[in-house]
Structure 1
Amino acid sequence: MVASVEMTMIEKGDTVMKKTLRMTMLLMAFSVTGAYAQDYPAAPPPPNEPAPTPGSHGDPVENAQRHLDEFKQELNLTQDQQAPWDRYAKDTLSAVREIRDQTTAAGKQTDVQPAPVRFDQHIALMRQRLKDFEKMDQALKDFYNTLTPAQKAIADQHFSHVRH
Protein backbone atom coordinates (compact mmCIF):
# COMPACT_ATOMS: atom_id res chain seq x y z
CA MET A 1 0.00 0.00 0.00
CA VAL A 2 2.82 2.40 0.84
CA ALA A 3 4.46 1.71 -2.51
CA SER A 4 1.18 2.46 -4.32
CA VAL A 5 0.85 5.72 -2.41
CA GLU A 6 4.40 6.60 -3.40
CA MET A 7 3.71 5.79 -7.05
CA THR A 8 0.48 7.80 -6.97
CA MET A 9 2.41 10.76 -5.60
CA ILE A 10 4.94 10.46 -8.40
CA GLU A 11 2.27 10.02 -11.07
CA LYS A 12 0.43 13.12 -9.89
CA GLY A 13 3.61 15.12 -10.29
CA ASP A 14 4.03 16.25 -6.70
CA THR A 15 7.16 18.26 -6.24
CA VAL A 16 10.25 16.51 -4.98
CA MET A 17 10.05 18.51 -1.76
CA LYS A 18 6.50 17.31 -1.05
CA LYS A 19 7.48 13.70 -1.71
CA THR A 20 10.45 14.02 0.60
CA LEU A 21 8.35 15.57 3.35
CA ARG A 22 5.68 12.88 3.04
CA MET A 23 8.22 10.08 3.07
CA THR A 24 9.92 11.60 6.10
CA MET A 25 6.60 11.77 7.94
CA LEU A 26 5.84 8.17 6.97
CA LEU A 27 9.22 6.98 8.21
CA MET A 28 8.68 8.76 11.51
CA ALA A 29 5.34 6.99 11.87
CA PHE A 30 6.96 3.59 11.29
CA SER A 31 9.70 4.12 13.83
CA VAL A 32 9.37 1.11 16.10
CA THR A 33 12.56 0.88 18.05
CA GLY A 34 13.37 4.54 18.44
CA ALA A 35 16.51 6.63 18.38
CA TYR A 36 17.23 6.40 14.65
CA ALA A 37 17.33 9.98 13.41
CA GLN A 38 19.31 11.42 16.27
CA ASP A 39 21.82 8.60 16.46
CA TYR A 40 23.77 9.56 13.39
CA PRO A 41 23.89 12.55 11.09
CA ALA A 42 22.85 12.08 7.45
CA ALA A 43 25.58 14.46 6.32
CA PRO A 44 28.58 16.16 7.88
CA PRO A 45 27.80 19.39 9.75
CA PRO A 46 28.35 22.71 7.98
CA PRO A 47 31.87 24.14 8.36
CA ASN A 48 30.76 26.72 10.96
CA GLU A 49 29.31 24.12 13.29
CA PRO A 50 31.38 21.76 15.44
CA ALA A 51 31.18 18.11 14.55
CA PRO A 52 29.32 15.90 17.02
CA THR A 53 31.55 13.94 19.30
CA PRO A 54 31.86 10.24 18.49
CA GLY A 55 29.21 8.23 20.26
CA SER A 56 27.36 11.33 21.42
CA HIS A 57 24.08 9.56 20.77
CA GLY A 58 25.35 6.03 20.88
CA ASP A 59 25.22 3.35 18.26
CA PRO A 60 21.70 2.89 16.85
CA VAL A 61 22.07 -0.90 16.83
CA GLU A 62 23.07 -0.89 20.50
CA ASN A 63 20.18 1.48 21.27
CA ALA A 64 17.76 -0.78 19.42
CA GLN A 65 19.09 -3.83 21.29
CA ARG A 66 18.58 -2.03 24.60
CA HIS A 67 15.01 -1.12 23.64
CA LEU A 68 14.32 -4.69 22.55
CA ASP A 69 15.72 -6.09 25.80
CA GLU A 70 13.55 -3.74 27.86
CA PHE A 71 10.48 -4.51 25.77
CA LYS A 72 11.04 -8.27 26.02
CA GLN A 73 11.38 -8.04 29.79
CA GLU A 74 8.12 -6.08 30.04
CA LEU A 75 6.27 -8.69 27.98
CA ASN A 76 7.33 -11.71 30.06
CA LEU A 77 7.15 -14.03 27.06
CA THR A 78 6.05 -17.64 27.12
CA GLN A 79 8.17 -20.38 25.61
CA ASP A 80 5.81 -20.54 22.59
CA GLN A 81 6.37 -16.83 21.94
CA GLN A 82 10.17 -17.04 21.97
CA ALA A 83 10.62 -18.06 18.31
CA PRO A 84 8.35 -15.28 16.95
CA TRP A 85 10.17 -12.83 19.26
CA ASP A 86 13.55 -13.98 17.97
CA ARG A 87 12.42 -13.38 14.36
CA TYR A 88 11.09 -9.93 15.28
CA ALA A 89 14.26 -8.95 17.14
CA LYS A 90 16.51 -10.31 14.37
CA ASP A 91 14.60 -8.46 11.61
CA THR A 92 14.53 -5.27 13.65
CA LEU A 93 18.24 -5.30 14.41
CA SER A 94 19.07 -6.22 10.81
CA ALA A 95 17.02 -3.28 9.51
CA VAL A 96 18.51 -0.86 12.06
CA ARG A 97 22.01 -2.04 11.16
CA GLU A 98 21.27 -1.53 7.45
CA ILE A 99 19.89 1.97 8.06
CA ARG A 100 22.92 2.86 10.19
CA ASP A 101 25.42 1.55 7.67
CA GLN A 102 23.79 3.27 4.71
CA THR A 103 23.50 6.57 6.55
CA THR A 104 27.11 6.37 7.71
CA ALA A 105 28.29 5.68 4.16
CA ALA A 106 26.21 8.57 2.81
CA GLY A 107 27.66 10.87 5.46
CA LYS A 108 31.20 9.94 4.45
CA GLN A 109 30.64 10.77 0.80
CA THR A 110 33.27 13.38 0.01
CA ASP A 111 32.78 14.03 -3.69
CA VAL A 112 30.70 17.11 -4.34
CA GLN A 113 27.70 16.28 -6.48
CA PRO A 114 25.31 18.73 -8.12
CA ALA A 115 22.31 19.47 -5.91
CA PRO A 116 19.82 17.44 -8.02
CA VAL A 117 22.11 14.39 -7.90
CA ARG A 118 22.53 14.65 -4.12
CA PHE A 119 18.79 15.04 -3.73
CA ASP A 120 18.18 11.95 -5.86
CA GLN A 121 20.70 10.04 -3.73
CA HIS A 122 18.90 11.18 -0.60
CA ILE A 123 15.55 10.02 -1.99
CA ALA A 124 17.07 6.63 -2.89
CA LEU A 125 18.40 6.34 0.66
CA MET A 126 14.96 7.19 2.05
CA ARG A 127 13.31 4.58 -0.19
CA GLN A 128 15.70 1.94 1.15
CA ARG A 129 14.96 3.10 4.70
CA LEU A 130 11.26 2.71 3.99
CA LYS A 131 11.86 -0.88 2.86
CA ASP A 132 13.79 -1.51 6.08
CA PHE A 133 10.99 0.03 8.17
CA GLU A 134 8.43 -2.10 6.32
CA LYS A 135 10.50 -5.19 7.16
CA MET A 136 10.43 -4.21 10.84
CA ASP A 137 6.71 -3.46 10.60
CA GLN A 138 5.91 -6.90 9.20
CA ALA A 139 8.07 -8.60 11.83
CA LEU A 140 6.25 -6.66 14.54
CA LYS A 141 2.83 -7.61 13.15
CA ASP A 142 3.76 -11.29 13.00
CA PHE A 143 5.04 -11.19 16.59
CA TYR A 144 2.12 -9.07 17.85
CA ASN A 145 -0.34 -11.73 16.66
CA THR A 146 1.21 -14.21 19.15
CA LEU A 147 0.66 -11.97 22.18
CA THR A 148 -2.02 -12.31 24.82
CA PRO A 149 -4.43 -9.39 25.33
CA ALA A 150 -2.42 -8.24 28.37
CA GLN A 151 0.83 -8.38 26.38
CA LYS A 152 -0.82 -6.53 23.49
CA ALA A 153 -1.74 -3.76 25.93
CA ILE A 154 1.93 -3.54 26.96
CA ALA A 155 3.02 -3.48 23.31
CA ASP A 156 0.43 -0.84 22.46
CA GLN A 157 1.72 1.31 25.31
CA HIS A 158 5.32 0.68 24.29
CA PHE A 159 4.60 1.93 20.75
CA SER A 160 2.16 4.68 21.76
CA HIS A 161 4.48 7.43 20.55
CA VAL A 162 7.28 7.82 18.08
CA ARG A 163 10.65 7.94 19.80
CA HIS A 164 13.39 10.10 18.41
Structure 2
Amino acid sequence: MIYHHGESVTLSGRGYVQVRWQISPKSRPGALVMPAWTGLRGKLFHVASGGGRRMDDPLTGSPDGYATGMGGPTIGYAVLPAGTQQMWQNEYYYLDGTVTLTQDERGCDYGLIVFPSSWQAVHQDVITGPAQGAIRYGPVRDDGSDSAPVPQYVTRTTPTDPATVPQRSRV
Protein backbone atom coordinates (compact mmCIF):
# COMPACT_ATOMS: atom_id res chain seq x y z
CA MET A 1 0.00 0.00 0.00
CA ILE A 2 1.35 3.39 -0.91
CA TYR A 3 -0.71 6.23 0.53
CA HIS A 4 1.56 9.27 0.80
CA HIS A 5 3.60 11.45 -1.53
CA GLY A 6 6.97 9.87 -2.24
CA GLU A 7 6.11 6.35 -1.12
CA SER A 8 7.03 3.72 -3.67
CA VAL A 9 7.22 0.03 -4.37
CA THR A 10 9.79 -1.65 -6.61
CA LEU A 11 8.47 -4.63 -8.55
CA SER A 12 10.68 -7.28 -10.13
CA GLY A 13 9.92 -10.41 -12.06
CA ARG A 14 7.50 -11.60 -14.68
CA GLY A 15 3.75 -11.55 -14.21
CA TYR A 16 0.58 -9.56 -13.67
CA VAL A 17 0.21 -6.71 -11.18
CA GLN A 18 -3.03 -5.18 -9.91
CA VAL A 19 -3.10 -1.52 -8.87
CA ARG A 20 -6.27 -0.66 -6.93
CA TRP A 21 -7.18 3.02 -6.68
CA GLN A 22 -8.55 4.68 -3.54
CA ILE A 23 -9.33 8.30 -4.34
CA SER A 24 -10.27 10.49 -1.35
CA PRO A 25 -11.47 13.94 -2.45
CA LYS A 26 -13.52 14.05 0.76
CA SER A 27 -10.18 14.36 2.60
CA ARG A 28 -8.58 16.70 0.07
CA PRO A 29 -10.15 17.48 -3.34
CA GLY A 30 -8.39 19.08 -6.28
CA ALA A 31 -5.85 18.31 -8.97
CA LEU A 32 -4.64 14.72 -8.85
CA VAL A 33 -0.92 14.27 -9.60
CA MET A 34 -0.58 10.86 -11.20
CA PRO A 35 1.75 8.14 -9.91
CA ALA A 36 4.81 7.39 -12.03
CA TRP A 37 6.55 4.22 -13.14
CA THR A 38 10.32 4.87 -13.13
CA GLY A 39 13.57 3.03 -13.73
CA LEU A 40 11.93 0.51 -16.05
CA ARG A 41 14.25 -2.30 -17.09
CA GLY A 42 12.43 -4.74 -19.35
CA LYS A 43 8.78 -4.47 -20.43
CA LEU A 44 5.65 -3.07 -18.79
CA PHE A 45 2.21 -3.21 -20.43
CA HIS A 46 -1.21 -1.93 -19.37
CA VAL A 47 -3.30 -5.04 -20.04
CA ALA A 48 -6.79 -4.45 -18.57
CA SER A 49 -9.05 -2.34 -16.38
CA GLY A 50 -11.57 -3.76 -13.92
CA GLY A 51 -13.25 -3.49 -10.59
CA GLY A 52 -16.65 -3.14 -12.24
CA ARG A 53 -16.42 0.62 -12.72
CA ARG A 54 -14.43 3.53 -13.94
CA MET A 55 -13.70 5.94 -11.13
CA ASP A 56 -15.87 8.60 -12.81
CA ASP A 57 -18.95 6.36 -13.02
CA PRO A 58 -21.99 7.56 -11.05
CA LEU A 59 -22.44 5.97 -7.62
CA THR A 60 -26.01 5.55 -6.47
CA GLY A 61 -26.92 5.79 -2.82
CA SER A 62 -23.53 6.97 -1.59
CA PRO A 63 -24.08 8.35 1.93
CA ASP A 64 -20.81 10.30 2.12
CA GLY A 65 -21.14 12.86 -0.66
CA TYR A 66 -19.58 10.84 -3.49
CA ALA A 67 -21.52 11.27 -6.74
CA THR A 68 -18.75 9.31 -8.50
CA GLY A 69 -15.53 7.66 -7.37
CA MET A 70 -13.88 10.97 -8.27
CA GLY A 71 -15.98 12.95 -5.76
CA GLY A 72 -19.14 15.01 -5.77
CA PRO A 73 -20.50 18.55 -5.50
CA THR A 74 -20.72 18.47 -1.70
CA ILE A 75 -17.16 17.24 -1.08
CA GLY A 76 -15.29 18.36 -4.21
CA TYR A 77 -13.71 16.37 -7.01
CA ALA A 78 -10.44 14.73 -7.98
CA VAL A 79 -9.37 16.37 -11.25
CA LEU A 80 -7.08 14.51 -13.65
CA PRO A 81 -4.42 16.25 -15.74
CA ALA A 82 -5.61 16.98 -19.29
CA GLY A 83 -5.12 13.93 -21.51
CA THR A 84 -4.79 11.45 -18.66
CA GLN A 85 -6.66 8.21 -19.22
CA GLN A 86 -9.52 7.84 -16.74
CA MET A 87 -8.60 5.07 -14.33
CA TRP A 88 -10.79 2.20 -13.22
CA GLN A 89 -11.04 0.88 -9.66
CA ASN A 90 -8.55 -1.85 -10.62
CA GLU A 91 -5.85 -1.41 -13.23
CA TYR A 92 -3.81 -4.39 -14.43
CA TYR A 93 -0.29 -4.45 -15.82
CA TYR A 94 2.10 -7.10 -17.07
CA LEU A 95 5.73 -6.73 -16.02
CA ASP A 96 8.72 -8.61 -17.37
CA GLY A 97 11.63 -6.87 -15.62
CA THR A 98 11.92 -4.27 -12.86
CA VAL A 99 10.13 -0.96 -12.27
CA THR A 100 9.36 1.38 -9.36
CA LEU A 101 5.84 2.77 -8.89
CA THR A 102 5.87 6.05 -6.94
CA GLN A 103 2.84 7.73 -5.40
CA ASP A 104 3.01 11.44 -6.35
CA GLU A 105 0.11 12.75 -4.25
CA ARG A 106 0.31 16.54 -4.02
CA GLY A 107 -3.22 17.74 -4.68
CA CYS A 108 -6.16 15.39 -4.28
CA ASP A 109 -5.69 12.69 -1.66
CA TYR A 110 -5.34 9.13 -3.01
CA GLY A 111 -3.79 5.79 -2.26
CA LEU A 112 -2.73 2.79 -4.30
CA ILE A 113 -2.81 -0.84 -3.27
CA VAL A 114 -0.45 -2.98 -5.33
CA PHE A 115 -0.92 -6.76 -5.52
CA PRO A 116 0.60 -9.58 -7.56
CA SER A 117 -2.09 -11.04 -9.78
CA SER A 118 -2.64 -13.65 -12.50
CA TRP A 119 -4.32 -13.75 -15.88
CA GLN A 120 -7.09 -15.85 -14.33
CA ALA A 121 -7.78 -13.13 -11.72
CA VAL A 122 -7.72 -10.40 -14.37
CA HIS A 123 -10.12 -12.38 -16.55
CA GLN A 124 -12.52 -13.01 -13.66
CA ASP A 125 -12.50 -9.31 -12.74
CA VAL A 126 -13.20 -8.01 -16.26
CA ILE A 127 -16.03 -10.48 -16.96
CA THR A 128 -17.85 -9.51 -13.76
CA GLY A 129 -20.66 -7.29 -14.99
CA PRO A 130 -23.96 -5.66 -14.09
CA ALA A 131 -25.65 -9.00 -13.37
CA GLN A 132 -23.11 -9.49 -10.57
CA GLY A 133 -23.47 -5.95 -9.19
CA ALA A 134 -20.81 -4.16 -11.27
CA ILE A 135 -21.56 -0.96 -13.16
CA ARG A 136 -19.88 -2.21 -16.37
CA TYR A 137 -17.54 -4.85 -17.77
CA GLY A 138 -13.84 -4.03 -17.86
CA PRO A 139 -11.85 -3.62 -21.08
CA VAL A 140 -8.91 -5.87 -21.99
CA ARG A 141 -5.97 -4.56 -24.01
CA ASP A 142 -3.79 -7.69 -23.91
CA ASP A 143 -3.98 -9.86 -27.01
CA GLY A 144 -0.96 -11.96 -26.01
CA SER A 145 1.38 -10.43 -28.61
CA ASP A 146 3.14 -7.65 -26.65
CA SER A 147 0.94 -5.10 -28.41
CA ALA A 148 -0.84 -3.81 -25.29
CA PRO A 149 0.04 -0.17 -24.58
CA VAL A 150 2.63 0.93 -22.07
CA PRO A 151 1.05 2.82 -19.18
CA GLN A 152 1.04 6.60 -19.12
CA TYR A 153 3.74 8.17 -16.92
CA VAL A 154 6.47 5.53 -17.40
CA THR A 155 10.17 6.07 -18.04
CA ARG A 156 13.40 4.10 -18.09
CA THR A 157 15.12 6.92 -16.19
CA THR A 158 15.00 7.57 -12.45
CA PRO A 159 14.21 11.29 -12.08
CA THR A 160 14.69 13.07 -8.78
CA ASP A 161 11.01 14.09 -8.94
CA PRO A 162 8.84 11.28 -10.39
CA ALA A 163 6.04 13.82 -10.98
CA THR A 164 8.11 15.12 -13.92
CA VAL A 165 7.67 11.88 -15.91
CA PRO A 166 5.88 12.78 -19.15
CA GLN A 167 2.31 11.64 -19.64
CA ARG A 168 2.94 10.30 -23.15
CA SER A 169 5.52 7.62 -22.46
CA ARG A 170 8.03 6.45 -25.04
CA VAL A 171 9.92 3.42 -23.77
Which structure: larger Rg? 1
Task: State TM-score, norm by structure 2.
Answer: 0.25
* Higher helix proportion: 1
